């Protein structure tokens, strides 16, 4: 029937997790693509620029070893570690986020160290931090940004893989460029924090709107007096069963001598008795959906159950009714009719059959009556 609030919000969380899972796969794919693209660019640049004075290594093999084989080997080791984490170690999704983010950071550090002669290489750190904003995790973004800043500073100040590049402290222009790289990275981190904050606020607003919509839809399906489902919800449930070609049974029940109770004690007392009866049904029926069809008539839907199974539960309801205060104080009884839904049957036909069985139960003075096949055929 209808999902409870916990299952509704659990579905929302599952959808959010599924989106982040897809992004995690794309994130890892971006790391792999970065490694592949860097290797291809190095190979092309090596063939075109090996004779250029821009590189300290003048031979093709020297260039390939220093700028292609060693960096690509280190990057492939990083990818191997990521593969081990995803396949062999029982790590959580949160751990994988850190692994992929820090793996991309390691690849960016390798490429920046090798090509620090190009100021644009510092943008790799910025991209690494920006990609973490999608997860909406302040700590992950902060850790990635802090390590990116540390990597940028350490590599720029102390690592000199490319001997043709002058040290950062060599002149004012190099120092200013380096400081700008660091400031841009810091600005990217602050931008990520703002993105995460407003993305969270947007998601919370959407979730609140969905929650309000959910509760509104639930309210439209509930009977305000008894807090069980109403007739509208019953037709919707039967339509779903019909669409799914699912089997089920339906019990219709009517309170005996309820009119006399209203006439004797008034409608307010009658409403109280209806609420008590609804609580009794919930206690016995468990998770099965209960509906107030109208007046003192109620229905219970038994998805996936046969008519005799439903009848047994209805007999337990009758026994509970006889033990209740409703029977002891007001001498109220209950009549129940049960019908079984077949795949080709319409919901209205099922209700009509259960109602006919209920009429037979009332004629017999109460109890439970299961609609017989011969009776069902005669009604078609």
**pLDDT 10s digits, 243-292:** 887 789 999 999 998 988 988 889 899 999 999 999 999 999 988 999 99
Say what the pLDDT of residue 375 is: 45
In this predicted structure, the answer to whether residue 378 has a pLDDT above a threshold of 70 is no
pLDDT band at 376; cut points 50, 70, 90: very low
Answer yes or no: are the C-beta atoms of 313 and 346 closer than 8 Å: no
pLDDT band at 8 (very low <50, low <70, confident <90, very high): low
- Determine how many CB atoms are found less than 10 A away from the CB of residue 344: 8
User: Which pLDDT does position 379 carry in this prediction?
Assistant: 37
Tokens representing residue 141 in the block = 């973004």
Residues in contact with 277: Cβ distance below 8 Å, sequence separation at least 6, in sequence order: 226, 255, 298, 321, 326
What are the backbone dihedrals phi and psi of residue 322, each rounded to the nearest 5 degrees, phi first? -70, -25
Q: How many other β-carbons are positioned within 10 Å of the β-carbon of residue 209?
A: 10
* HSE value, Cβ hemisphere, 13 Å, CA-based, for 211: 11
Report whether pLDDT(115) > 90. Answer: no
- Can you give the pLDDT at residue 3? 47
What tokens were used for 213? 């919509």
- E strand or H helix at 69: none
**Fold of the CATH domain 231-379:** Alpha-Beta Plaits (3.30.70)
44: tokens are: 């092309």
The pLDDT value given to residue 59: 65
Please state, rounded to an integer, the average pLDDT across all residues of the chain. Answer: 85
Sequence-distant (6+) residues with CB within 8 A of 161 are: 66, 113, 114, 116
- Residue 109 contacts residue 122 (beta carbons within 8 Å): no
Tell me the pLDDT tens digit for each residue of 132-152: 999 999 999 999 999 999 999
- Say yes or no to pLDDT of 131 above 90: yes
């Amino acid at each position: 029937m209808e999902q409870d609030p916990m299952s509704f919000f659990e579905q929302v969380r599952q959808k959010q997790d599924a989106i982040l899972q897809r992004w995690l796969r794309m994130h890892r794919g971006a790391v792999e693509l970065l490694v592949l693209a860097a290797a291809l660019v190095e190979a092309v640049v090596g063939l075109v620029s090996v004779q250029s004075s821009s590189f300290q290594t003048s031979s093709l093999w020297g260039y390939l070893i220093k700028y292609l084989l060693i960096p690509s080997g280190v990057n492939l080791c990083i990818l191997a570690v990521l593969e081990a984490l995803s396949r062999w170690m029982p790590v959580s999704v949160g751990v994988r986020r850190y692994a992929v983010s820090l793996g991309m950071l390691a690849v960016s550090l390798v490429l920046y160290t090798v090509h620090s002669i190009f100021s644009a290489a510092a943008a790799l750190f910025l991209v690494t931090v920006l990609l973490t904003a999608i997860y909406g995790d302040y700590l992950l973004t902060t850790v990635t940004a802090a390590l990116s800043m540390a990597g940028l500073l350490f590599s720029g100040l102390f690592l000199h893989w490319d001997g043709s590049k002058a040290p950062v402290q060599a002149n004012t222009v190099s120092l200013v460029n380096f400081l700008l790289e660091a400031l841009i990275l810091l600005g990217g981190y602050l931008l990520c924090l703002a993105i995460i904050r407003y993305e969270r606020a947007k998601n919370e607003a959407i979730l609140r709107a969905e929650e309000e919509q959910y509760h509104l839809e639930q309210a439209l399906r509930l009977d305000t007096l008894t807090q069980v489902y109403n007739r509208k919800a019953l037709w919707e449930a039967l339509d779903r069963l019909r669409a799914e070609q699912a089997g089920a049974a339906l019990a219709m029940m009517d309170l005996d001598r309820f009119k006399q109770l209203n006439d004797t004690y008034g409608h307010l007392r009658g409403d109280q008795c209806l609420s008590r009866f609804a609580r009794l049904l919930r206690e016995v029926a468990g998770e099965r959906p209960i509906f107030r069809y109208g007046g003192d008539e109620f229905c219970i839907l038994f998805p996936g159950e046969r008519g005799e199974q439903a009848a047994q539960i209805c007999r337990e309801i009758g026994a509970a009714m006889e033990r209740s205060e409703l029977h002891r104080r007001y001498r109220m009884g209950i009549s129940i009719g049960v019908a079984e839904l077949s795949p080709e049957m319409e919901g209205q036909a099922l209700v009509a059959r259960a109602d006919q069985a209920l009429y037979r139960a009332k004629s017999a003075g109460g109890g439970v009556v299961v609609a017989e096949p011969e009776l069902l055929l005669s009604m078609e």
